[in-house]
Amino acid sequence: MAVITLPYRYLERLTGVDRETIISRLPMLGSDIERIEDDHVDVEFFPNRPDLFSVEGVARALRGFLGKETGLPEYRVNPSGMKFTVDPGLAAIRPVLGSAVIRGISFDEEAILSIMGLQEALHWAVGRGRSKVAIGIHDLDTVTPPFHYLASERTRTFVPLDYEEELTMEEILAKHPKGRMYSSIVNDFPRFPLIVDDLDRVLSFPPIINGELTRVTTETRNILLDCTGTDERAVRTAVTIICTAMAEAGASIESI
């Protein structure tokens, strides 16, 4: 079961209803309320409803349940004009890539916490601990397309998220908390998955850690989404859920 934190203020803004209505209706969506706090409610959803693993997804379901927006939602997707190349050497390592551009985001701390919470919940429920799918969310305006998904030398260096100094990819697996946690997914391969931009700057070492270069902040307005994995259906599911959640928050979606 996934426990999701739903801030009242953000959920009220997305649904147009007050917190009393929200709390009374949440169990009717198949959730169990774990705890009710002054500024948020924690709810638990079954793994077979990953579309409800975000504030935006819950808001969409509530609007439908309350009759405010009925029917199957439609989401417009425009071409971004950007490209992502994939190294054939990844076929035996981590062959599947899904990506999108998400524009026009207005990120406050609550929205950042929501998307990061969705990311981790999907890693658990859909990604099987990042082995089937891992998700990277990047500030698009810090990098230069086209992007390249490579089978990299293990000695390649970059600054991982929350660090100030460069580490080799092997050092990241040994020293970084995320590296130690997920090293077993990639450590037996002679090369490691790596995502870089057209200036050869590192965005991500999937499924381990993003680079500090593309950290998402409250100043971020446009996002590059990458989902890598070993299962095409899981990757497609993750891309769809994140893109539709961001569309619910007012962003526009572009294909790559």
Q: Where are the domains of the chain?
A: 3-66, 77-255
| Fold category of 3-66 in CATH | Phenylalanyl-tRNA Synthetase; Chain B, domain 1 (3.30.56)
pLDDT, position 161: 96
Q: Which residues contact 12 (CB under 8 A, 6 or more apart)?
A: 18, 19, 22
Could you give the C-alpha distances from 154 to 33, 39, 159, 170, in angstroms and in order? Answer: 45, 45, 14, 6
The answer to whether the 3-66 and 77-255 domains have the same CATH topology is no
pLDDT, position 1: 67
Q: Which two tokens stand for residue 74?
A: 């439609």
Q: Are 110 and 10 in contact (CB under 8 A)?
A: yes
Distance CA 129, CA 124 (A): 5
Buried b (16+ CB within 10 A) or exposed e, 161-189: beeeeebbbbbbbeebebbeebbebbeee
Per-residue pLDDT of the chain (256 residues; tens, 9 = 90+): 678 899 999 999 999 999 999 999 999 998 899 999 999 999 998 888 999 999 999 999 999 999 998 888 899 999 999 999 999 999 999 999 999 999 999 877 778 888 888 999 999 999 999 999 999 999 999 999 999 999 999 999 999 999 999 999 999 999 999 999 999 999 999 999 999 999 999 999 999 999 999 999 999 999 999 999 999 999 999 999 999 999 998 999 999 9
Strands 84-86 and 147-152: parallel
pLDDT, position 107: 79
Q: Going by CATH, does the domain composed of 77-255 fall within 3.50.40.10?
A: yes
